Structure 1
């Protein structure tokens, strides 16, 4: 987590800006794959603080991880070799939503990977884990929205 919170003068590759209010967490990231574990830890802590159940939390964490992994793999890097993204997680009545925004307007595509391929399953995983998903192309890229409902 320390890496995500250092100032740009110390390490421009790990800049993160966060904001948290009751039931809402917002994070702007210069993202690298090695930052994903720290981001998951931060999201997990918020979901726990909000009283989100374990199953709902795990489904949301995997979906967020897959969406951020897609940013790392499919968006163009900036001059530091980083992918810019933002993550908004909200506690809503009956569940949790998350929006991952990036600077690439290409929408996720479900592909059929080769049987032994090590990648190509992320969008299918996301769609299988969440209760609802949508993609909006914006003037600066896209927003991918997911919803996971609480289980009783």
Structure 2
């Protein structure tokens, strides 16, 4: 656990039209830095956030994009971070094993390799899905 911290959480929401995944990556970095999370854990969190946010922005049906939002939540409990990115598309994410020379389909493989655990569920609102992952804070 990070010294002197209680449970913490923060969230943000962005309109899908014009959303750039780097915004979510920067939010993760600034939040985790503020919370005193070690750099190695932050680096993994930024990479995973980029992959999941990119998938959410890239693969949402166009008709959902115009009125849709991406919601990003980060929480800390003890030495466990939990991240959630929701989008209005209910189709489940697909973990595809990319061929050696394939330049796509590596996002969820990266999540699978770096996160302690991950998954997805229907959004509580009944619209869309939430992709979540957990990371254990690495201690230097």
TM-score, length-scaled by structure 2: 0.82
Q: 1:130 to 1:79 in 2, by over 3 A?
A: closer
Answer whether contact 1:71 1:83 (CA < 8 A) is retained.
no
Instruction: Name the residue aligned to 2:96.
Output: 111
Q: Where do 4+ consecutive residues of structure 1 move more than 6 Å?
A: none
Instruction: Name the residue aligned to 1:17.
Output: none
- More RCO (CA 8 Å, sep 6+): 2
User: Does residue 85 of structure 1 match 2:89?
Assistant: no
Instruction: Name the residue aligned to 2:34.
Output: 49
Q: Distance in 2 between matches of 1:106 and 1:34?
A: 19
List runs of 5+ in structure 1 lacking aligned partners.
1-21
Q: 1:83 to 1:124 in 2, by over 3 A?
A: farther
2:116 aligned residue (121, 128, 131): 131
1:96 aligned residue (77, 81, 85): 81
* Aligned-residue CA RMSD (Å): 2.2
Q: 1:80 to 1:151 in 2, by over 3 A?
A: closer
For this pair of structures, how many residues does the alignment match?
A: 131
User: Does residue 149 of structure 1 match 2:136?
Assistant: yes
TM-score, length-scaled by structure 1: 0.76
Q: Distance in 2 between matches of 1:49 and 1:65?
A: 19
List runs of 5+ in structure 2 lacking aligned partners.
1-6
